[in-house]
Amino acid sequence: MVIVGIDPGPVSHGAVIYDSRNRRVLWADKAADWRSIMDESEAHNAERCVVERPAAMGGLQVGKVGHMLDTAWEAGRVAAHFQIAGLPVHEMTRRQVLRSLGVMSGTGSADSRVRAACIADHQKPGGPPAVGRKATPGPLFGVSSHAWQALGAVLAWLESQP
């Protein structure tokens, strides 16, 4: 199954297109707009979309409220575009993603723990690196920045399926 993962932002979004059968990223962008994500999802015949939905969390500072609201608005817009295009859209909160990946707590930021979980999930003991290099790309080659969070949402959603 080819799945689009989106980590929405107020202006641009982290995005991946992931092939769950072959367990590899087909496309990734750390700062995409919804049109480019839609174009790539059509080009790769995506079958589903997973959007990380912003959720209120304790201790939110006044200055970040506007950012959170803008991100929530944009997440809804992106989800609506994919629904109109006929793709089933699934949403997961950040807390659900962290819990599903088993990185709810630990050292480092939540972002770094999601990245580490994505890499660990694709790393084979004694095998080639999960990310790799341009000359020898691994299954996660090309993923960076906010695209890791989008990939984390996809992997968490896959984990939650029976």
In the chain, which ranges are continuous DSSP H helix? 34-43, 62-84, 94-101, 110-122, 147-160
pLDDT digits (tens, 9 = 90+) for 82-119: 999 999 999 999 999 999 999 998 888 999 999 999 99
Which pLDDT score is estimated for 17?
98
Which pLDDT score is estimated for 65?
63
| Number of domains composing the chain | 1
74 has pLDDT over 80: yes
23 has pLDDT over 60: yes
66 has pLDDT over 70: no
64 has pLDDT over 70: no
For residue 138, give its domain range.
2-160
Query: CATH number of the domain that 52 lies in?
Result: 3.30.420.10
- In a 13 Å sphere around the CA of 5, the CA atoms on its Cβ side amount to 31
Q: Are 52 and 150 in contact (CB under 8 A)?
A: yes
56 has pLDDT over 90: no
58 has pLDDT over 60: no
pTM of the model: 0.91
35 has pLDDT over 90: yes
- Distance from C-alpha of 120 to C-alpha of 112, rounded to nearest angstrom: 12
Q: Which amino acid type is present at position 56?
A: A
Cβ atoms within 10 Å, residue 72: 16
Higher pLDDT, 64 or 45: 45
Would you state the structure tokens that stand for residue 143, as one six-digit string?
């993923």
pLDDT band at residue 57 using 50, 70 and 90 as cut-offs: low
